Amino acid sequence: MNSFPKDFLWGTATSAYQIEGAYKKDGRGASVWDRFCETKGKVWEGHTGKVACDHYHRFREDIGIMRDLGLQAYRFSISWTRILPSGRGKVNAKGLEFYDRLTNELLQAGIRPFCTLFHWDYPTKLYDKGGWLNEESPKWFSDFTLKVAERLGDRIVDWMTLNEPQVFVGLGHGTGEHAPGDKLPIAKQLKIVRNVQLAHGLGVQALRAGCAKRGRIGWAPVGVVFYPATDSPGDIEAARKWTYGCGNNHMFSNTLWSDPVVLGRVAPEAEKAFGKALPKYSDADLHTMAQRMDFYGVNIYQGTPVTEGPKGKGKVIRFPDGNPRTAFVWNVTPESLYWGPKFLHERYKLPLYITENGLSNIDWVSTDGKVHDPQRIDFLGRYLGELKRVVNDGVPVKGYFQWSLLDNFEWAEGYKQRFGLVHVDYGTQKRTLKDSCDWYRNVIRTQGDMI
């Protein structure tokens, strides 16, 4: 087995609401997550992101940790309501200054910033005007994006418009498990899908117009992965079909989201699955959505095995009893990091980044003062092994962002789930590097050769 390419990029990822805290500091406006956290019974044990990892005040210390790790790239997101407290209109200079400082410190540390415009913290003021259902919403997003591009686009080159639209629409507006907690009928969810895709397209245009440096632009949807239970051609074909499908888990599809954005068409699979519930996509809509992208970012944590099944329709295989699972009870499926990129590249033909992958584990500080997390090391090693295999098979995966640098606020699960390479004591804000942090440092140092 060969190595990862010399220019393969090693990073970690975070998002604004999950780490920044400082929820009222320097004029930040409220997001739907602030409101959701205030609503009784929505978030585990009533946790909130009010303080989180206090990264807003401790970002220099955190960049020190990144430097110590030898990190080459860092993916973070912008809090929309720090920049535009009401979601649109008056710009909050202090909000922009924070990301200015963050960007400068990263660059000084030799770390390449990868900036995500939207990672779920939607302005409440805009939600109250109809949010993503409002036909103006794509424009609201692109106006916000333009402000960020004009300020940071002389230094940041790598951009992603949206993080995991499947989740913020599916859980935020479908099942109601995430903010804003809506349970909309499918036709309305699909209307949101279309507006979000338009927002992406206008956002790319805003980045191209506003950045002083030529940007490299992508997005970061969930990679919904089905992988073949065996190497038989029938199983492989079934896995491919399911990965491109729009199954029962409505919003959790690759092609519903990415065909309009990358290929400029509505996915035939989506037409079949949703029929009349799909809103009309005009030629002009598709033209706006399908802006040229430089890469396809994808977040992959798990996959589902399938076999050819009766009449070649494919059949999901049940995991064996006692299958390894994460603390989130997600099945440990390293194969997903082989088959996911492979199938997505076959369809979309873009260079890829793994913009998230990682393990939620039950970690704590041991009596020796260290945090021992052998499961995370094993998990990451297995997944990276599969990633190396797919890269060696010629699929152009350009980099990998481990989720996450720090333990952080895991949405409806509050602080129950710990994904970090760095343990955070939320009472004292003390950071403790976990064993996996040392391990990842070696992965980076050897450019993945130790995998």
Distance of CA 242 to the CA centre of its chain: 21
Closest CB to ligand IFM among residues 330, 364 = 330
CB 403, min distance to ligand IFM, A: 5
- The two counts, helices (H) then strands (E), for the chain are 16, 13
Site for ligand IFM in 17-56 (CB under 6 A): 18
Residue with tokens 């603390």: 327
Q: Which is nearer to ligand IFM, 175 or 230 (CB)?
A: 175
DSSP string, 246-293: --SSTT--SHHHHIIIIISS--HHHHHHHGGGSPP--HHHHHHH----
Q: By CB under 6 A, is residue 118 in contact with ligand IFM?
A: no
Nearer to ligand IFM, 12 or 291 (CB): 12
Residues 147-176: x where in contact with ligand IFM by CB under 6 A, - otherwise, as a string: -----------------x------------
Q: How far is the CB of 392 from ligand IFM (least distance, A)?
A: 27
Residue 164 C-beta: closest distance to ligand IFM, Å: 5
Write out the DSSP string of 220-248: E-B--EEEESSS-HHHHHHHHHHHT---S
Query: Looking at residue 39, what DSSP letter applies?
Result: S
Residue 418: CB minimum distance to ligand IFM, A? 11
Distance CA 380, CA 66 (A): 18
Residues binding ligand IFM: what is the number (CB under 6 A)?
8
Q: Which is nearer to ligand IFM, 222 or 278 (CB)?
A: 222
Report the DSSP beta bridge partners of residue 160.
116, 218
Tokens of 106: 């990263």
| DSSP state for residue 152 in the 8-state scheme | H
Residue 252 to residue 270: CA distance in whole angstroms = 11
- Whichever of 256 and 298 has its CB closer to ligand IFM, that residue is 298
264-323: which residues touch ligand IFM (CB under 6 A)?
299
Give the x/- contact pattern for ligand IFM in 63-102, rule: CB under 6 A.
Answer: ----------------------------------------
Nearest residue (CB) to ligand IFM, 236 versus 359 = 359
Phi, psi values for residue 225, rounded to 5°: -115, 130
Residues numbered 372-431 forming contacts with ligand IFM, rule: CB under 6 A: 403, 410, 419
CB atoms within 10 A of CB 198: 24
Active site residue 271: no
Question: Which phi and psi angles does 30 have, rounded to 5°?
Answer: -85, 150
Report the DSSP beta bridge partners of residue 424.
431
- In this complex, which beta carbon is closest to ligand IFM, that of residue 48 or of residue 288? 48
CA angle 83, 130, 255 (to 5 degrees): 85
**SS3 category, 218:** strand
Question: Coil, strand, or helix at residue 326?
Answer: coil
Q: How far is the CB of 91 from ligand IFM (least distance, A)?
A: 26
According to CB under 6 A, which one of 20, 34, 62, 356 is a site residue for ligand IFM?
A: 356
Which residue from 4, 9, 11, 15 is in contact with ligand IFM, where contact means CB under 6 A?
15
Of the listed 269, 335, 356, 410, which one is catalytic? 356
Dihedral through CA 85, CA 89, CA 93, CA 99, nearest 10? Answer: 70
Question: Cα angle vertex 62, ends 94, 152, to 5°?
Answer: 40
Bridge partners, residue 218, by sequence: 160
Catalytic residue among 20, 105, 164, 386: 164
Backbone angles phi and psi of 400, in degrees to 5 = -140, 130
Per CB under 6 A, which of residues 209..268 are in contact with ligand IFM?
Answer: none
Q: How far is the CB of 16 from ligand IFM (least distance, A)?
A: 10
Joined together, the tokens standing for residue 61 give 């210390």
Q: Please identify which residue in the block is written with the tokens 């990276």.
A: 384
Is residue 164 part of the annotated active site? The answer reads yes
Residue 356 or 386 with smaller CB distance to ligand IFM: 356
Q: By the criterion CB under 6 A, which residues form the site for ligand IFM?
A: 15, 18, 164, 299, 356, 403, 410, 419
Annotated catalytic residues are 164, 356
